[in-house]
Structure 1
Amino acid sequence: MRQKRIVVIGSGFGGLAAAVRLQARGFQVDLFERLPEPGGRARTFHVGDYAFDGGPTVVTAPFLLEELFQLTGKRLDRAVELLPVDPFYKLFDARGNTLSYNGDPAHVLPQVEAIHPPDADGYLAFLRAAEPLLQKGFIELGAEPFLRLSDMARVAPDLAKLRAYESVYRFVGRYIQHPFLRQCFTFHPLFIGGNPLKASAIYAMIHLIEQRWGVWYPRGGMRSLVDALAALFGDLGGRLHLGTPVDRILVSGGRAAGVVAAGERIPADAVVSNADAATTYLKLVEQTPPRVRRHLTRSHYSMSLAVWYYGLATDQVPDALAHHNIVFGPRYEDLIRDIFERKVIADDFSLYLHVPSRTDPSAAPPGKQALYVLVPVPNLASTISWDDELQRLEERVLSLIEARFWPGFRRFIEVRHRIDPFYFAHDLGTYLGTGFSLEPRLMQSAWFRPHNKSPFIRGLYLVGAGTHPGAGIPGVLLSAKIAEKIVVRDMEEVDRRA
């Protein structure tokens, strides 16, 4: 049999992982990336002497990365040094409460008790209640495809028993009463584009994923991890085409037959799309059935993000700040509704402040700091005057940082860069400029999410944030594992029929 050729669209972590897996399986893989460098959401921005992580800043479940290197007899730790982050996060509210959270309950529990003594027992009860969610949702089902309704029906009784129909906020609220502590243990769905008031309780498992496998940061930034995966793919014989956008997925006789990339027709035996799921079906595939188009346009999508990158001419960071800092605004539930439902930029906000030099001093030029500030904002299904609103929002963000953490912060800024919903829409090609594709609601999870294998185009497969199991580095790496399993099975079937 001739060596089969597979095209992978997009070099985010999902696309890179799928390309490595399939190349290691003996296929000839061509990976097309529209940007001039690999990484997708995890790309690096270079501004003057500074290099900024473009997206993800947290590595959890690192064994999923280790698997990719083990496929070729190599070791992740020989290519990338993952540094432990401790604390995982430092969390603040508007009333002066603080929680330094890591994977050790003995460290977290006294802080919980000091804030609200009755919640100490509640926190332990929450950990016990979330354990089955981790076991079922991540360990047992995370790498399993949901291609048929029967796949969902098979696990529905277990999900009902685990109360997966509840929201994360309601699930945690059963055990933890203090408003600040509820925020501390329900914010995780925001890291994968989820509304904590709507995201299925199954995503409470994220807390335990971090607790069991830790939170890590690659020395040299996320670019070192992206570069290591790209190099691994190249060492296997894979071909990476940078600055080469895919304009269309070719379909012949109901089967994916290749792509049109930068105006050139590239034939293939199968196509794996790491492009945004909605974009794949609404823009890249002309044969998408009208019912699928209607479903996708009516689905619930994640929020977007406004991120400001600052290069600072100082070697000092205030003691109050850790590597990962989450600052909650005076409102929580109503602010979330402003972002996801009312789709407005409110006067108040919550933010994530990333200070990588706390873990990796090489994250900035010598004697300087490179950090970013992220604020969740509505996606482009809104009528916001974006430039004006984002300028005002940045001023409020800077004022808060100076008032609460870093006096004189503005005077240290020597370079700055911003991304916003238009970056996600235009540069990354996400539908509505979302940061994470579809929301992880129960009715948009597992079988209800765009499948890893297209149900109406043979030979077309999906990986990444918009397909099963969802966003976040563990989710997209698992999607690649699922896709590999299905592609290999389908290609073996094609050979048998031949």
Structure 2
Amino acid sequence: MRKTIQIIGSGFSSLAAACYLAQQGNNVTVYEKNSTIGGRARQFKENGFTFDMGPSWYWMPDVFERFFQDFNKKPSDYYELIKLNPAYRVYFGINDFISIYDNLEDIKSTFESIEKGSGEKLQNFINQAKSNYDIAIKDLVYRPGVSPLELITPQTALKLNQFFSNVSSDIRKQFKNERLIQILEFPVLFLGAKPTKTPSFYNFMNYADFGLGTWHPKTGMFDVIRGIEKLALELGVTIKTNSSIEKIIVENNTATGIVINGEILKADIVLSGADYQHTETLLEKEHQMYSEKYWESRVFAPSSLLFFVGFDKKIENISHHALFFDVDFNQHAADIYDNPKWPEAPLFYANFPSKTDQTAAPNGMESGFFLIPLAPGIEDTEKLREEYFEKIITRFEQLTQQKIKNNIIFKRAFCKNDFVSDYNAYKGNAYGMANTLMQTAFLRPKIKSKKVKNLYFTGQLTVPGPGVPPALISGKLAAELIQKSFRS
């Protein structure tokens, strides 16, 4: 029987869920509070420059392929992919960087040239990471987090010890060079926690990095949003922007609709891909599953200070993606997780999409995206934003041996306060809830509300966790639970 399903938010998880639910013949409408779709993956254009506002790494291409395959489609039906070579560079000092190339053999050679014997060790490490990837990404993450028994399989039983050790200690047992260690620890930062707090099993992220490579949609990550939007529209989904949800209507402990601009919109099912904590504030207290004390006790992934910058010239000595690890990695991590404060000397990331995509900037110019990870809930002022831009741009000039400050013709900052106002993000988090041992799978907030019938959640605060591929999977899991409820 055709159901009316109202979906809150238009990020990756919401759009994915909308596609699956429409495929089943339901009447599906997506409501987005902002003027454009995409959630954190929005895009904006200014002065001839194009900027993706959020995700910029296209990893785990197999997850995207699996998503489109569910609709008898391919990613190439909707967007074009370019494999980056180098995938990225990591800077440790003035003109001192390590390039990570687009294949494991070249990466092994790079490691071997820095630490004798590390090439073979890396091969063994990636073999194990691939084994974990095959278990996690091809199986476990497609389970809805309903029961702890989901994690118990013949394969995971053999790897049980990996849930009680951590990524950092495993890497340090095998590699001695601090620069190589930091490169291997970097991918798990996408999961939102320190490498010392991330279970060893999550080294599958290293296979995603070195084994599957780093890709770039031809004109940016928003290509993927546009592609999924096109698929959704083909399936009959309706998408409405400038539609901020004011309330979720509950009658007899059942979600029966939503309120937008004072208008009641009836629903058989309400699915929220908006921030989980914010969504629960749209309910009366007795219908909320998680208290403020609960949210306060969770380990959240970082917030971020972002800068979108247009330069009137080409930038030299830089790759598409670049990580700046010329300062103390552990101290910055402590400033996020242990003693939350603005870091004295921040690590940062820079992305120059116009190195790959000529449409991202006017001819002869460059578009740049800079990111500093920060503790969620931190103070955010214009003065601090400017102070930290000056810090990183000065270091950028020193490390890449060029002057660029006077070539800035456009700059826009985005930080914690914007994450709150634009996305209703709890404490202004950028990536959701970290994937620590006690916040994995069935220990994460539930997809299906236990207090309100016909109310569901999707996205980075529920199963399986932060990141774009997990968001696509989360949309599928939510849709499957909804479809299962129709049959019960």
Per the TM alignment, residue 159 of structure 1 is displaced from its structure 2 partner at its CA by 7.5
- Residues 150-159 or 61-70, more deviating: 150-159
CA contact (8 A) 1:24 1:71 kept: no
Q: Deviations over 1:214-248 (max 9, x none)?
A: 32111122222212221221222111010101122
Question: Equivalent residue for 2:185?
Answer: 186
Matching residue of 1:394? 389
> What SS does the aligned partner of 1:391 have?
helix
Q: Is the 8 A contact 1:41 1:55 kept in 2?
A: yes
- 1:14, 1:479 within 8 Å by CA — same for their partners in 2? yes
- Contact 1:257–1:269, Cα closer than 8 Å, also in 2: yes
Deviation readout 1:74-104 (Å, 9 max, x if unpaired): 4431321111112221112248652211342
Any idea what SS the aligned residue of 1:182 has? helix
Deviations 1:428-480 (CA, angstroms, capped at 9, x unpaired)? 11100001111111101101111222233222222111111111111101111
Distance in 2, matches of 1:259 and 1:411, equals: 50
* 1:155 Cα deviation from its structure 2 partner: 8.1
Which position in structure 1 is the counterpart of 2:438? 443
CA distance in 2, matches of 1:68, 1:199: 27
- The match for 2:376 is 379
Residue matched to 2:487:
492
Distance (whole Å) between structure 2 residues aligned to residue 38 and residue 291 of structure 1: 28
Q: For 1:155 and 1:94, locate their aligned partners in 2 and report how far apart those are by CA, in whole Å.
A: 46
Give the Å deviation of 1:71. 4.3
1:461 aligns with 456
In the alignment, which residue of structure 1 is the partner of 2:263? Answer: 264
SS in structure 1 at match of 2:5: strand
TM, length-normalised to structure 1:
0.92
In the alignment, what sits opposite 1:244?
243
Q: Does 1:346 align with 2:357?
A: no
Mean Cα deviation higher: 234-243 or 201-210: 201-210
Aligned partner (choices 309, 319, 322) of residue 322 of structure 1: 319
Q: 1:108 to 1:452 in 2, by over 3 A?
A: same
C-alpha distance in structure 1 between counterparts of 2:304 and 2:20, whole Å:
31
Distance 1:231 1:347, change over 3 A: same
Superposed counterparts of 1:88-127, under 5 Å: 88-94=87-93, 97-127=96-126
Does the C-alpha gap of structure 1 residues 120 and 64 become closer, same or farther in structure 2, counting only changes over 3 Å?
closer
Query: Do residues 66 (structure 1) and 61 (structure 2) align?
Result: no
Deviates more, 1:334-343 or 1:192-201: 192-201
Cα distance change on mapping 1:207 and 1:160 into 2, 3 Å: closer
Following superposition, the deviation at residue 63 of structure 1 comes to 3.5
More moved, 394-403 vs 153-162:
153-162
CA gap of 1:278–1:45, structure 2 versus 1, over 3 A, is same
Identity of aligned residues (%): 25
* Counterpart Cα distance in 2 of 1:428 and 1:14: 14
Q: Give 1:170's aligned residue.
A: 169
* Structure 1 runs not aligned, ≥5 long: 494-498
| RMSD (Å) for aligned C-alpha atoms | 2.1
Q: CA deviation at 1:36?
A: 0.3
Residue in structure 2 matched with residue 131 of structure 1 by the alignment: 130
Q: 1:273 to 1:206 in 2, by over 3 A?
A: same
Give the match for residue 78 of structure 1.
Answer: 77
1:44-81 residue CA offsets vs partner (Å, 9 max, x unmatched):
12222222110111112234333444444444313211
Partners of 1:32 and 1:283 in 2: CA distance? 15
Distance 2:399 2:103 in 1: 27
* CA gap 1:263/1:341 in 2 versus in 1, 3 angstroms: farther
Aligned CA distance change for structure 1 residues 388 and 159 (closer, same or farther; 3 Å): farther
Q: Check whether the contact 2:248–2:282 (CA below 8 A) recurs between aligned residues.
A: no
Deviates more, 1:159-168 or 1:122-131: 159-168
Q: Distance in 1 between matches of 2:344 and 2:366?
A: 28
- Assess, with a 3 A threshold, how the Cα gap between structure 1 residues 325 and 364 changes in structure 2: closer, same or farther: same
Q: Give the direction of change, closer, same or farther, for the CA distance of 1:157–1:208 in structure 2 (3 Å limit).
A: closer
What is the aligned counterpart of 2:358 among 332, 347, 361? 361
| Equivalent position amino acid for 1:455 in 2 | K
Q: How many residues align?
A: 488
Is it true that 1:220 corresponds to 2:219 in the alignment?
yes
Distance 2:404 2:48 in 1: 19
Q: Gaps (5+ residues) in structure 2?
A: none
1:383-432 Cα deviation digits (max 9, x unpaired): x3633322211111110111111522111111111100111111111100
The 3 A distance-change label for structure 1 pair 189 and 281 is: farther
Task: Name the structure 2 match of 1:496.
Answer: none
Q: Contact 1:306 / 1:419 at 8 angstroms: preserved in 2?
A: yes
Q: d(CA) in 1 for partners of 2:485 and 2:329?
A: 46
Partner-residue secondary structure (3-state), 1:126 = helix
- Structure 2 Cα separation of the partners of residues 284 and 37 of structure 1: 25
- Deviation at 1:207? 1.7
State the SS of the aligned residue for 2:196: coil
